[in-house]
Structures are given as C-alpha cells and as structure tokens.
C-alpha cells in the first residue's frame, strides 16, 4: 500500500506546518512539540539510510520495519510507543491536509507497556523532607514554601515554577493552574498557607531582580525558578532527610495522590486536582491503595 506525496526533502516543510498546527489548533506544550519534531526527524534519518528519498516509496511495511529497528536497537517500549504516536499523528495530519492519499500509519500497533507503580514516599518520609528547610534566610523560606505547596496540591513542577503571585489566593487557600487548554483551581491546607505567607511577606521581594515581576518563585539570581533548579533542591533535601529512594519532584505529586486515595478521597476529586484528562490515569493510585490493603490483610488477619 503506497503513498502518493512529494519528495522526502519536503518533509521539513510539512513538519513545520504540522508543528504550527499543534501550536495553534491542538494547543500543545513546547515540550510536546519538540518531542514530535525529534521523533519525525529520527524516522526521516531511517528512511534516508534505507535509500528511501521519496515519501511515495514509504509503505506500511516501511513503517513496521522502522518499529522493528527501534526495538532491535534496544529502545524501551515506552520510547517506541511514543515514536509510533508521533508518526501516526504526523501521517494523519498529512492525510487530512490532502498531502497523502492514504494514511498508511493507521494500523501501526504500539508495544504493550506494563505500567509500573509510581514511586511514592511514606507520610513519615514526606514530613522529614518538608522539615529540611529550617532556617530563616529568604532561600529557606522559598524552599519551604515550594515543597509544602507541591505536596499540598500535587501540581506538576512546571505548574509550580510557572505560578504567578496573582494565581495564589492566600485568604481562601487555593491556587489557579493554567495550561494551553484549561485552568483548574486546587486547594491547599494550613501548613502550605503558612509557608507561602511567610515567603511572600518576608522573602520574595528580597529575592526578586525585577520588583514589577509577578513570578511567585525565583532562583537566587532573582529570575524565575527553572525545572532543573528545583529538581536539584528536591534531591538536596531528600539526602538531608535521609531518604534513600531516588526521588524527583514528581514523586511528591504521586505521594500527594496516593495519600489522598489511601485516606478515602474519591477518584474524581483527585483526578480534578491532578488535572488528568482521563480517570484511568488516576486509577493507578486506587490500585496502589488496594494492593496495600491486601498486604495489611494478609499480614494481620488471623485466617488470611
């Protein structure tokens, strides 16, 4: 089954148009767009290495060969699956735009990926971590506020570092998180409220390079905190807390959700707070809770 389309040299132009479509229509994030672009570029290099320089020569068999090549090269199932998703999205776009007469990627199958349970901290480990920024210096107040807020809300690290002062309602106790498609309101409790209020009142102005900036959290140079910068902070405080697990900022998001479900929160509420578009993504925390219940039952029930 062959595709009638222009030379493979035109893929760059079509890829640029595809990325523009993602930006303007699908409202995808910059990271998503870069991922698509990188995946399609890898496919193009494979085609060139195979002597395929015209998309008219690309067939379903060609794409299947590429998937097999990725698997034999040692690519993880998740990586192969992501590449397939990128290829399918790109070819579907070309078909819809009329650049190809047939979507040959339609029947590409992603490998089965066994979902691993996410790494979570115990409540005792979380408490030890949150207690680490103990000083009264502006950096300590900032770090304490960031850690408390991350665990109290379960937001993504990108959402945390992207917060503006105007996104925070200290009086009621909630933040507003926005992405390209929607916004959601996430509540937080008293410990995070105290830490945030302390930081905003006694540290933020001292750390800002631009007093007119609305950025909530800054680095030590007064600019917006980066993902890498906060990742290093979490690693640093985890070591200080004696936590041996290799945790990341996302570990606190997982821990937030798992602890909520474990203590009786309903999945729909947790889904809304996490910003999951599909509740099946949130379901994993319920499965974790059920596994824990089974372990407790087997260990403690006399006739288990």
- Provide CATH 1.10.443.10 ranges for the chain: 123-300
- Provide CATH 1.10.150.130 ranges for the chain: 8-96
Span of 61-65, 188-192, 218-222 with lowest mean pLDDT? 218-222
Model pLDDT, residue 164: 93
Cβ–Cβ under 8 Å, residues 69 and 43: no
Mean pLDDT value across residues 282-294: 64
Question: Where would I find the H helices in the chain?
Answer: 11-21, 30-49, 60-72, 77-96, 123-130, 138-153, 157-161, 190-202, 204-207, 227-240, 249-262, 267-274, 279-300
Model's pTM, two decimal places? 0.60
Judged against a pLDDT cut of 80, whether residue 22 lies above it is answered with yes
Model pLDDT, residue 236: 94
Residue 215 has phi, psi (to 5 degrees) of: -60, 135
Which residue would you say has higher pLDDT here, 275 or 70? Answer: 70
Give pLDDT tens digits for 83-120: 999 999 999 998 888 888 889 898 888 776 666 667 88
CA separation for the pair 200, 187 (Å, rounded): 18
Q: Is the dihedral of CA 28, 30, 33, 35 positive or negative?
A: negative
Cβ–Cβ under 8 Å, residues 217 and 224: yes
SS3 293: helix
Judged against a pLDDT cut of 80, whether residue 46 lies above it is answered with yes
Kindly indicate the confidence band of residue 300, based on its pLDDT and cuts at 50, 70 and 90. Answer: very low
- CATH number among 2.60.40.10, 3.40.50.2300, 1.10.150.130, 3.50.50.60, domain 8-96: 1.10.150.130
Work out the mean pLDDT of the chain and round it to a whole number.
Answer: 84
Instruction: Kindly state which CATH superfamily the domain 123-300 is placed in.
Output: Intergrase catalytic core (1.10.443.10)
Residue 91 C-alpha from the chain's centroid: 25
CB atoms within 10 A of CB 72: 8
Burial class (CB in 10 A: 0-12, 13-18, 19+), 177: buried
CA separation for the pair 104, 64 (Å, rounded): 10
Give pLDDT tens digits for 147-169: 999 999 888 888 999 999 999 99
Kindly indicate the confidence band of residue 4, based on its pLDDT and cuts at 50, 70 and 90. Answer: very low
Kindly indicate the confidence band of residue 66, based on its pLDDT and cuts at 50, 70 and 90. Answer: very high
Mean pLDDT value across residues 218-242: 90
Sheet with strand 174-178: strands edge to edge? 168-169, 174-178, 183-187
Mean pLDDT value across residues 264-281: 77
Give pLDDT tens digits for 173-184: 999 987 666 788
CB atoms within 10 A of CB 52: 16
Which residue would you say has higher pLDDT here, 75 or 262? Answer: 75
């Amino acid at each position: 089954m062959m595709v009638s389309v222009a030379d493979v040299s035109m893929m760059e132009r079509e890829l640029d148009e595809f990325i523009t479509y993602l930006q303007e229509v699908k409202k995808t994030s910059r990271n998503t767009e870069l991922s698509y672009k990188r995946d399609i570029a890898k496919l193009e290099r494979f085609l060139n290495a195979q002597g395929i320089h015209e998309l008219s020569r690309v067939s379903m068999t060609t794409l299947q060969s590429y998937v097999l090549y990725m698997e034999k090269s040692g690519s993880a199932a998740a990586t192969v699956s992501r590449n397939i998703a990128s290829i399918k999205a790109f070819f579907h776009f070309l078909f819809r735009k009329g650049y190809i007469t047939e979507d040959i990627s339609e029947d590409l199958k992603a490998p089965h990926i066994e979902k691993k349970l996410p790494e979570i901290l115990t409540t005792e480990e979380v408490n030890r971590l949150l207690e680490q920024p103990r000083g009264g210096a502006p950096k300590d107040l900032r770090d304490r506020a960031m850690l408390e807020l991350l665990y109290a809300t379960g937001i993504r690290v990108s959402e945390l570092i992207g917060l503006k002062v105007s996104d925070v309602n200290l009086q009621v106790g909630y933040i507003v998180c926005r992405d390209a498609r929607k916004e959601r309101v996430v509540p937080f409790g008293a410990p995070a409220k105290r830490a945030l209020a302390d930081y905003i009142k006694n540290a933020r102005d001292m750390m800002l390079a631009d007093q007119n900036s609305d950025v909530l959290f800054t680095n030590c140079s007064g600019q917006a905190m980066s993902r890498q910068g906060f990742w290093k902070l979490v690693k640093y405080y985890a070591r200080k807390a004696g936590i041996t697990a290799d945790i990341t900022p996302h570990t606190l998001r997982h821990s937030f959700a798992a602890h909520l479900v474990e203590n009786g929160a309903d999945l729909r509420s947790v889904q809304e707070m996490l910003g999951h578009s599909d509740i099946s993504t949130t379901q994993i925390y319920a499965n974790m809770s059920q596994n824990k219940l089974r372990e407790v039952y087997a260990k403690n029930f006399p006739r288990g």
